[in-house]
Amino acid sequence: MTEPLDVLILMSDTGGGHRSVAEAIAEGLAREFPDRYAVTLFDVIARGALFPFNHIPEWYLPFVTFSETLWGLLFRATNNRLMTSCLIQVSTWVAGRALEKYLRERSPALVVSVHPLLNHFPRRALRRIGSRAPFVTIVTDLFDAHRLWFDRAADLCIVATDRAREIARQCGLADARVRVVGHPIRLSFLGDGRTRAEARAACGLDPARRTILLVGGGEGMGALYEIARALAQTRLPIQLVVIAGRNAALQRKLAATTWEIPVRVEGFVTNMPDWMRASDLIITKAGPGTISEALACGLPILLSGFLPGQESGNVTFVETSGVGALRRTPDEIARAVREWLTPGDDTLARWSTRARALARPRAALEIAAQLDALVRAGEVSPPPAGATLPADERLPLEFPDDRKF
C-alpha cells in the first residue's frame, strides 16, 4: 500500500470558525478519498509566530469583546491595497520563517489556508524550498470579505458566494482560479432523517416544546446572558438552549440562575448539528460558520449582533437572502420571538424553507474533489530534480498540538 499524501491545513484558533472549516475539509478528504491523504491541522500563529504574536489566539476574544468598535475601525482602515500589503509584510515577518522550516520538514503534497493572515507567504515559501505542491485558500467570509483573504499567487481560491467571487476579481484574481463552492461545514450536518421532535428527545429536551437555540460562536460572545433573561421573562411556552462555547464564566453564571422557563445550559459542544436540528430558531452573532450550519439544518436565523467589519456583510447576506433578520437588543429579540411564535405567523416557516434551498451542506465534499484534482494535476508534472534539501537543513520542529486525521 502506498503512503498517504501529506496535506497541511493552515489555521488559527481565533474564534471557532477557522478550526470548524479546517475540520470540515479534513472530513471531506477522508470521506471522498479514504487512505489517500493524511491531513494535519497546523495552528501557524500559536505554534509558529514570534513572541508575543503567538499569543494572538488568547488576545482575540478579549480584544473583540471589549473593543468591537476599534476592531471595526481596524478592519475598514486596513481594507485597502496599501494597508493589506503592510499586513502581509508583518505576518510574513512574524510567522514566515517558522512556516518555511515546517514546510521543509514535511514536504506536503498540498497546503490549504483557511485564515486571512496566512494566505500570502505559504505559496512563496513552498517555491523557495523547491516544492511544487499546490496552495489553496478557502475564504470563509460570506459576503464582504477583507482583501487580505485574496492572494493572487494562490493556485486556487475557493469562496462561498458570488459576491465573494466579485471581490476576488476586484483584488486581481483570475476567474479561472476562483471557484464558488459554498462554506465548508462538517459532514455531520448532512442530515440523519430525524424529525425535530426526535432530535429534541435525543438531546434530552421536551419533544413537544418549541425550542430556541442561543449561541455566540466558539467563544460564547455577545450579550447571551441578557438575551436569555429577556426570553425567559416572556414566559412563552418555549424551552431555551444556551451554548456558552468556551466562555466558562458565562456558563457558570447561566447555570447558577433560576429560570422562568426550561433552560438548558451547555459549554463547548461537539454535536452542534443535534442542537440545531432540535431547534425552531437560532439566535446567534453573524459568524459565517454558524450561519452556514443553520442553513443546512433549515433553521431560521435571528442575528443578535455582528463583529463590525468582518461580520457586517454576513448580516446583509442573511437579510437579503430571506433566511433571518437582525435585532440588536435583548428586548427587541424577545419581542420578535413573541411575534414570530404567534399562531398563524408564517415568518419562521418561510425562512426555514428558504434556508434549506440556500444551504450547501456538501461543500466540504465538493472542495475535497477540487483539492484532489489539483494534486493529481501536479502528479502529472513532477517537481524538478534537485528539489531535495541537504539533510542539515531539515531542522526538526516540535508542534505537539498538530491534529492528525
Binding stretches for ligand UDP (CB under 6 A): 15-17, 20, 215, 217-219, 243, 245, 268-269, 272, 287-290, 293
State the Cα–Cα distance between residues 151 and 168, nearest whole angstrom. Answer: 9
What amino acid is encoded at 307 in this protein? L
- Is the torsion defined by CA of 42, 43, 45, 47 positive or negative? negative
Specify the residue, 244 or 341, whose C-beta has the smaller distance to ligand UDP. Answer: 244
For every residue of 359-404, DSSP letters joined together read --TTHHHHHHHHHHHHHHHHHHSPPPTT-SPPGGG------TT-EE
Give the Cα separation of 405 and 27 in Å (integer). Answer: 8
Smallest gap from residue 359 Cβ to ligand UDP (A): 14
Pseudo-torsion of CA 319, 322, 323, 329, nearest 10°? 40
**In the complex, least distance from residue 331 CB atom to ligand UDP, rounded to whole angstroms:** 24
Q: Which residue carries 433549515 as its cell?
A: 298
Closest CB to ligand UDP among 109 and 318? Answer: 318
Cell numbers standing for residue 322: 430571506
The position carrying cell 501557524 is 44
Beta carbon nearer to ligand UDP, 299 or 333:
299
Nearer to ligand UDP, 14 or 92 (CB): 14
Closest residue to ligand UDP, judged by C-beta, is 287
Identity of the residue, 72 or 289, whose beta carbon is nearer to ligand UDP in the bound complex: 289
Q: Which CB sits closer to ligand UDP, 17 or 48?
A: 17
Q: Which is nearer to ligand UDP, 245 or 313 (CB)?
A: 245
CA distances in angstroms from 133 to 21, 90, 129, 327, 379, listed in the order given: 21, 24, 11, 46, 9
What separation, in Å, do the N-terminal and C-terminal C-alpha atoms of the chain show? 18
Nearer to ligand UDP, 249 or 387 (CB): 249
> Which of 40/290 has CB closer to ligand UDP?
290
Shortest distance (Å) from residue 287 CB to ligand UDP: 2
Q: How far is the CB of 186 from ligand UDP (least distance, A)?
A: 7
Separation of alpha carbons 134 and 153, rounded Å: 10
In angstroms, what CA-CA distances link 333 with 66, 208, 255, 329, 346?
Answer: 22, 23, 21, 6, 17
- Minimum gap (Å) between residue 318 Cβ and ligand UDP: 12
For residue 126, the minimal CB distance to ligand UDP (Å) is 27
Smallest distance from ligand UDP to CB 21, Å: 8
**CB 243 → ligand UDP: shortest distance, Å?**
5
Write the CB contacts of 375 (distance below 8 Å, at least 6 apart in sequence).
5, 109, 110, 134
- State how far the Cα of 292 lies from the Cα of 273, in Å rounded to an integer: 12
CA 322/CA 334 separation, integer angstroms: 20
Closest distance of CB 242 from ligand UDP, Å: 10
